[in-house]
Amino acid sequence: MKKSCTLTAVLLSLTMILSGCLGGYESSSASSDNSVSNTARESETEITTISEETTVLVEETTTEATTEATTEATTTEATTTAEETTTKNNDNNLSDKLVVHYIDVGQGDSIFIELPNGEAMLIDAGEKDYGDKVVTYIHSKGYDTLDYVVATHAHSDHIGGMANVVDNFNVKNFYMISASATTQAYSNMLNAVKKSGASVHNAMAGETILNDRNLSVEIVAPKEIDNDNQNNNSVVIKLTYGDNKFVFAGDAEKSEEDGIWTNIKCDVLKIGHHGSDSSSTANFLKKTEAKYAVISCGLNNSYGHPTDSVLKRLNDRNIAVYRTDLQGTIVFTSNGKDISVNVKPSENNQPVVTTAVTTTVVTTTTTAPVTTVATTTTTAPLKTGGTIYVLNTNTKKIHYKDCSSVKQMKDSNKSYTDDYNGAIAQGYKPCKKCNPR
């Protein structure tokens, strides 16, 4: 929710209006002795124990205030005033757009969602080091309240930054599984949620987070807790807005994917487990019928994500691929019928191939042998254990893959190599911006 008036201010405004009306005075100033009776229901707090390491979390708190007036005119005036004061968005900033931000948090997940009803949702918050980035990003969009926050599972690359997020926003509803963990990241998250006063919900299949006319958010997995593999405890979410559908798969692997029998056809699929071979099986992709896939992973990560096998499965189904490691934060926008995205599909959505580097020694009849080093390059991205460099065949510059100059480079001028010295020998010079070595 974007920044708005507090409930206290609303009740104060109602009290002042009704006090003036009930006092019977025509004067614009009400007597200090006038008062309006109102009733309030005490907040009910249900305590849920998540694990032995934690104490209690607030399950649900609701506050309701009602005020009666003696005349129909007064009631109409008070109601109108209350509605105008407490509304989250006025006619000038109401939006009918759904905006889904796949924030670049390296080797992790964090998805910020601006819902078309004016509310805001967050799924995961990346590693601890990315907590500040997630907080800053959401604040930059004008929000100080998160109506729904989901921690998909207890791994630090999904919840490491969650404590920072909860500490910096007004969190209304927090969704998590009951499976506990002994990590510091998990403990920090629980403590922050406990202090926040957010309503805590057990996130299992069948739970509905939101159902508002043509907008719904439902949990389709997990159906049961896997005590051996936290990835298969991932909260999998399906978001529907009009004709458009999004599925967020967390780190769900094959066994959890196979257990989903709910209709999960979607336009956009957040690929499970950063593109690991253990996720996004051919059968699962067939069930989703996705047109677009988003892979959230870190550049040159040590896990080799996304794997060749996953890229091939996506390519076989002609699914357009977007990658945070190569393209940064990915933003999809939907009006309920059409979907747009802030970047073009990744050029590196084909299975990568390794190109061998060959050295040819040519000896002439001169007094000293002349050695020519020929480095084989390729227009397809390489996959090796070392660093991959991008060559600009036009300017003869060598770049790191994440250099800003690479984004401006024409595809026809791009080439790839893992042999830095070989490229230098061919006359390439290091880019002064990224200074590769």
Mean pLDDT for 416-425 is 74
Whether the predicted pLDDT of 75 surpasses 50: no
Whether the predicted pLDDT of 102 surpasses 70: yes
Are the beta carbons of 14 and 21 closer than 8 angstroms?
no
* The one-letter amino acid at 233: N
Instruction: Tally Cβ neighbours within 10 Å of residue 135.
Output: 18
- Per-residue confidence band for 390, with pLDDT thresholds at 50, 70 and 90: confident
- % of the chain surpassing 90 pLDDT: 55
Burial label for 358, CB within 10 Å (0-12, 13-18, 19+), is exposed
| Domains present along the chain, CATH in parentheses | 7-44+60-86 (no CATH), 98-341 (3.60.15.10), 352-437 (3.40.10)
More confident residue, 150 or 428: 150
pLDDT for the residue numbered 82: 37
Mean pLDDT for 68-94 is 38
Mean pLDDT score of the chain: 78
Whether the predicted pLDDT of 89 surpasses 70: no
- Per-residue confidence band for 264, with pLDDT thresholds at 50, 70 and 90: very high
Pairing of strands 145-150, 120-123: parallel
Which residues sit opposite 320 in a β-bridge?
Answer: 292
- Per-residue confidence band for 2, with pLDDT thresholds at 50, 70 and 90: low
In 159-285, beta strands by DSSP E: 170-176, 199-202, 208-212, 215-221, 236-241, 244-248, 268-270
Are the beta carbons of 283 and 306 closer than 8 angstroms?
no
Whether the predicted pLDDT of 403 surpasses 80: yes
What is the pTM assigned to this prediction? 0.64
- Per-residue confidence band for 373, with pLDDT thresholds at 50, 70 and 90: very low
Whether the predicted pLDDT of 334 surpasses 50: yes
Are the beta carbons of 256 and 232 closer than 8 angstroms?
yes
* The one-letter amino acid at 14: L
More confident residue, 145 or 84: 145
Q: Which of 10-19, 344-353, 417-426 has the weakest average pLDDT? A: 10-19
Q: 């309030």: which residue's tokens?
A: 40
* The one-letter amino acid at 308: D
Please provide residue 213's backbone torsions phi and psi, each rounded to the nearest 5 degrees: 55, -110
The model's pLDDT over 57-69, given as tens digits with 9 standing for 90+, comes to: 434 433 333 333 3
Q: CB-based contacts of 173: which residues, under 8 Å, 6+ apart?
A: 147, 148, 149, 198, 199, 201, 209
Whether the predicted pLDDT of 46 surpasses 90: no
Write out the two tokens for 333: 């926008």
The model's pLDDT over 211-244, given as tens digits with 9 standing for 90+, comes to: 998 999 999 999 999 989 999 999 999 999 999 9
Distance, CA of 328 to CA of 298 (rounded, Å): 10
More confident residue, 44 or 267: 267
DSSP secondary structure code for residue 378 in this structure: B
Distance, CA of 302 to CA of 311 (rounded, Å): 17
The model's pLDDT over 165-219, given as tens digits with 9 standing for 90+, comes to: 999 999 999 999 988 889 999 999 999 999 999 999 999 999 999 999 899 999 9
The model's pLDDT over 243-254, given as tens digits with 9 standing for 90+, comes to: 999 999 999 999
- Per-residue confidence band for 399, with pLDDT thresholds at 50, 70 and 90: confident
pLDDT for the residue numbered 293: 98
Whether the predicted pLDDT of 11 surpasses 70: no
Whether the predicted pLDDT of 12 surpasses 60: no
Write out the two tokens for 55: 């104490």
Whether the predicted pLDDT of 383 surpasses 90: no
The greatest distance separating any two alpha carbons of the chain, rounded to the nearest whole angstrom, comes to 116
- Per-residue confidence band for 350, with pLDDT thresholds at 50, 70 and 90: low
Angle at which helices 7-22 and 72-86 pack, to 10 degrees?
Answer: 160
Mean pLDDT for 334-347 is 95
- % of the chain surpassing 70 pLDDT: 69
Backbone φ/ψ region at 28: left (φ over 0), alpha (ψ -120 to 50), beta: alpha
Q: Which of 10-24, 113-127, 226-240 has the weakest average pLDDT? A: 10-24
